[in-house]
């Protein structure tokens, strides 16, 4: 069994406590996992889930990733990172919290790129704390892209990545992620959509074992209604789909964005018509997935030469430190990371 690094997340948020909960509630799934971060932060998190008769979980310092394999179930192994800031006030944006979250992700990313861990699972960080710490990345996706490009000696545009959100009913891949809606519309181009289709096709062909049926959502209401409500479908989206089809990909659309997710959703009564929906911007894709339940979704970065998954929720500052946060999404992220890492080629997972 290989080891998986879990990043601690923002110490002011629910990341550390969902991590310790996952070790408590899913010891089999968490076998071989360890936390890259700060021991005191994880010990404080373990206290949040203690109650009379259950004093919390043991949190043990390990000296190297492979030591995680020797840990008994329901013990949280932590690889203490040098210089990482310790516990921070719950629910507050801060530069020290951003530095701590970033240190954990950077360590885990580099370990994964060197092949020292099989995958990384990232607990949520707060993007404003990351910015306060002086890191010019919108989130994990952009930071990991930059680390991977540097590791390979490539320019950023030579390491294109995409965000995929998955639950048991839907998959969606986003054309653009953390940009304003105005910039997202500007980012829609023939090349970017074609590249998104190729990245999605490559990743899902590996994980599904067959070419994915890809539905492309329109940008405008009713996919433009024949040009009455916008021309992007006619001028950009349809030509990119046609080019992808000519290259042998199973891409269809553009479909009306308000109904394509319904058609792609798998239910016990209804087989999904598509394996994935390509969404034209962040909220178009993420609202349908998150609306089905934050506990069910997993965020996977496609295009990286490493496996990275994450829960689909954020730092939830409103409930941090109370021990009430649901760890299901993190547990699902660990299961998915293990499955992706076990594929014959996990590159561009
Ligand atoms: N993977 C990540 O690092 C990640 C993912 C999403 C958001 N974020 C960041 O997190 C910060 C806060 O984002 P937000 O407030 O928009 O979304 P959020 O997901 O943190 O919270 C939205 C709502 O869902 C609830 N919630 C979230 N996770 C929960 C859980 N595990 N159990 C129970 N309730 C839960 C919260 O209490 C809140 O009411 C932002 O900086 C955002 O960018 C990070
Ligand atoms: N857009 C993601 C979501 O809402 O789930 C989230 O912000 C995470 O982004 P990174 O994986 O890039 O941190």
DSSP 167: -
Residues 277-292 have a mean pLDDT of: 96
Q: Is 150 exposed, middle or buried (0-12, 13-18, 19+ CB in 10 A)?
A: middle
- Ligand 2: distance of its center to the CA of 226 in Å? 33
Contact 174, 279 (CB under 8 A): yes
* 346, pLDDT greater than 60: no
Cα of 72 vs centre of ligand 2, distance in Å, is 32
SS3 content of the chain, % helix, strand, coil (to 5): 40, 15, 40
Q: Which of 124, 125, 139 to mutate to test the pocket of ligand 2 (most atoms within 8 A of CB)?
A: 139
Q: Complex ipTM, two decimals? A: 0.98
In sequence order, the 6+-apart residues with CB closer than 8 A to the CB of 105 are 7, 120, 122, 125, 140, 143, 144
pLDDT number for residue 345 = 65
The model's confidence at residue 294, banded by pLDDT at 50, 70 and 90, is confident
Residue 296 has pLDDT above 60, yes or no: yes
Give every strand in the sheet of 59-62, ordered side by side: 59-62, 76-80, 33-37, 4-7, 119-122, 308-311, 298-302, 162-166, 171-174, 276-279, 214-217, 251-255
Q: Are 72 and 30 a contacting pair, CB within 8 Å?
A: no
Do 1-160+303-349 and 168-292 fold alike per CATH? Answer: yes
Q: What is the pLDDT of residue 156?
A: 96
Q: What are the domain boundaries of the chain?
A: 1-160+303-349, 168-292
Q: Residue 69 carries which DSSP code? A: G
Question: Is 140 near ligand 1, meaning CB less than 6 Å away?
Answer: yes
- Report the SS3 class of residue 149: helix
DSSP string across 329-345: HHHHHHHHHHHHHTSS-
In this predicted structure, the answer to whether residue 349 has a pLDDT above a threshold of 50 is no
pLDDT averaged over every residue in the chain: 95
What's the fold here for domain 1-160+303-349?
Isopropylmalate Dehydrogenase (3.40.718)
For ligand 2, is residue 10 a contact (CB within 6 Å)?
no
Binding site membership: which residues?
140-141, 178, 222, 282, 290, 299, 308
Q: What is the dihedral of CA 17, 22, 23, 28, to 10 degrees?
A: 180
**pLDDT score at 348:** 43
Res. 248: pLDDT tops 80: yes
Mean pLDDT of 242-254: 98
Write down the pLDDT at residue 53. Answer: 73
**Residue 142 confidence (pLDDT) above 50:** yes
Nearest CA to ligand 2 atom 5: 312
| pLDDT one-digit tens code per residue, 52-106 | 777 678 999 999 999 999 999 999 999 999 999 999 999 999 999 999 999 999 9
The model's pLDDT over 98-129, given as tens digits with 9 standing for 90+, comes to 999 999 999 999 999 999 999 999 999 999 99
Given a cut of 50, whether residue 319 has pLDDT beyond it is yes
Ligand 2 center to 194 CA (angstroms): 22
Q: Residues at the annotated binding site for substrate?
A: 140-141, 290, 299, 308
Q: What is the mean pLDDT of residues 282-302?
A: 93
In this model, does residue 164 exceed pLDDT 60? yes
Mean pLDDT value of segment 42-53: 88
State which CATH number among 3.20.20.80, 3.40.50.10330, 3.40.718.10, 1.10.3720.10 fits the domain covering 168-292: 3.40.718.10
Mean pLDDT of the region 178-204: 97
Interval between CA 173 and ligand 2 midpoint (Å)? 12
């Amino acid at each position: 069994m290989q080891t998986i690094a879990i990043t601690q997340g923002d110490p002011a948020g629910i990341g550390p406590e969902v991590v310790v909960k996952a070790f408590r509630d899913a010891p089999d799934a968490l076998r071989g996992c360890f936390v890259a971060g700060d021991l005191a932060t994880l010990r404080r998190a373990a206290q949040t889930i203690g109650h009379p008769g259950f004093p919390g979980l043991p949190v043990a310092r390990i000296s190297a990733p492979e030591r995680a394999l020797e840990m008994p179930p329901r013990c949280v192994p932590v690889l203490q990172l040098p210089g990482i800031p310790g516990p921070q006030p719950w629910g507050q944006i801060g530069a020290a919290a951003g530095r701590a979250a970033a240190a954990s992700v950077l360590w885990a990313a580099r370990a994964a790129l060197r092949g020292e861990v099989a995958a990384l699972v990232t607990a949520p960080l707060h993007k404003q704390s990351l910015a306060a710490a002086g890191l010019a990345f919108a989130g994990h996706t952009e930071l990991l892209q930059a680390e991977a490009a540097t590791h390979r000696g490539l320019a950023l545009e030579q390491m294109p990545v995409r965000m995929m959100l998955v639950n048991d009913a839907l998959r969606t891949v986003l054309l653009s992620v953390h940009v304003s809606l105005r910039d997202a519309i500007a980012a829609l181009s023939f090349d970017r959509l074609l590249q998104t289709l190729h990245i999605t096709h490559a990743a899902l062909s590996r994980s599904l074992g067959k070419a994915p049926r890809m539905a492309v959502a329109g940008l405008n209401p009713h996919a433009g209604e024949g040009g009455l409500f916008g021309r992007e479908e006619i001028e950009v989206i349809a030509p990119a789909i046609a080019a992808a089809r000519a290259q042998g990909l199973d891409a269809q659309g553009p479909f009306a964005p308000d109904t394509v997710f319904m058609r792609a959703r798998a239910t016990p009564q209804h087989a999904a018509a598509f394996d994935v929906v390509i969404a034209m911007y962040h909220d178009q894709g993420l609202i349908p997935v998150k609306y089905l339940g934050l506990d069910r979704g997993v965020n996977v970065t496609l295009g990286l030469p490493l496996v990275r998954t994450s829960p689909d929720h954020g730092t939830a500052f409103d409930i941090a430190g109370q021990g009430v946060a649901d760890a299901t999404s993190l547990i699902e992220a660990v299961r998915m990371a293990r499955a992706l890492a076990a594929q014959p080629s996990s590159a561009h997972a």
